[in-house]
Amino acid sequence: METINIAGYDLIIFNDRSVGIFVSGGADSSLLLYILMKHIKGHIQIYTVQEPARMNVYEPIIETCVNLCSELTGNTNFTLHKIHRPDQNPETLFSIVSDKLGSGEVDIIYAGLTKFPPYEIWKDHPNTQPQWHIDARGTTVEKPLFGVDVPVREDTDFTLLTSGGIPKQSIKSDDRLYVPWVNLNKSDIANMYKELRLIDNLLPKTRSCEDEFHPGTHCNKCFWCMERKWAFGYLDHPDE
């Protein structure tokens, strides 16, 4: 195990364990994959989770980002697992974490979750984020780097989740889920892209947009596009 520092931010590299990572094809997880491919000596298990209705849009982007990270680092010691689930929510994602860790396939899983930008940046998009995103990515408290604990609110679908007939107060992942950037926002990610000189090669291949009806490019309207443009100053190219 070693700790590296990129643009002033520490990241633990678990070279002494079998490692997995969630990759979405977005800027955050693609950067994290690049760093792991550059520093991890053992085999890397890459997990992508998509809803069947969206996989034709996002899986080609994910494959492109994975292959480019491999090309840039010279690392071919990985397996890409395409996991299809009808819904992406904490219960779904945490069950995958438990399965992969419980089976011994990996000892630790990285996730590139970051916190929201300052509220004044995204206040015009109050209804575009599910409550669990607001809970997991909120900026009001410092969050632990290992494990994610998502509070259950009355105004979310998670009131349907019960334990022995009693509504759960929260949904928590295994503590071996490492979320190194949960207290950083996308402007911090932009700083790392710049330091690693990935702005012109990796970033344009990633996609932050969540509008599956706008394939191939960014819609420039959704929350995720707004966040990316705020952090980098543009969506794909500086001259756009």
Q: What is the pLDDT of residues 156-208, one digit of tens each?
A: 444 444 444 444 556 667 778 899 998 899 999 999 999 999 999 999 999 98
The structure tokens listed for 171 are 């949904």
pLDDT at 155 over 90: no
d(CA 190, CA 201): 13
Q: What is the pTM (predicted TM-score) of this model?
A: 0.86
Task: Work out how many domains the chain is built from and give that number.
Answer: 1
Q: Are 45 and 79 in contact (CB under 8 A)?
A: yes
Tell me, yes or no, whether 30 lies in a domain: yes
Tell me, yes or no, whether 237 lies in a domain: no
d(CA 60, CA 215): 11
Among residues 226, 203, 214, 178, the alpha carbon closest in space to that of 25 is found at 203
Tell me, yes or no, whether 215 lies in a domain: yes
Domain that holds residue 178: 2-232
For the ranges 27-31, 48-52, 125-129, the lowest mean pLDDT is seen at 125-129
Residue 182: CATH number of its domain: 3.40.50
Output the pLDDT for position 139: 66
For the ranges 29-38, 53-62, 135-144, the lowest mean pLDDT is seen at 135-144
Question: Average per-residue pLDDT in the chain?
Answer: 83
Tell me, yes or no, whether 70 lies in a domain: yes
Tell me, yes or no, whether 238 lies in a domain: no
Find where tokens 């599956």 sit.
Answer: 212
d(CA 4, CA 204): 25
pLDDT at 106 over 90: yes
Cα of 50 vs its chain's centroid, Å: 13
Tell me, yes or no, whether 239 lies in a domain: no
Tell me, yes or no, whether 240 lies in a domain: no
Tell me, yes or no, whether 124 lies in a domain: yes
Q: Are 208 and 193 in contact (CB under 8 A)?
A: no
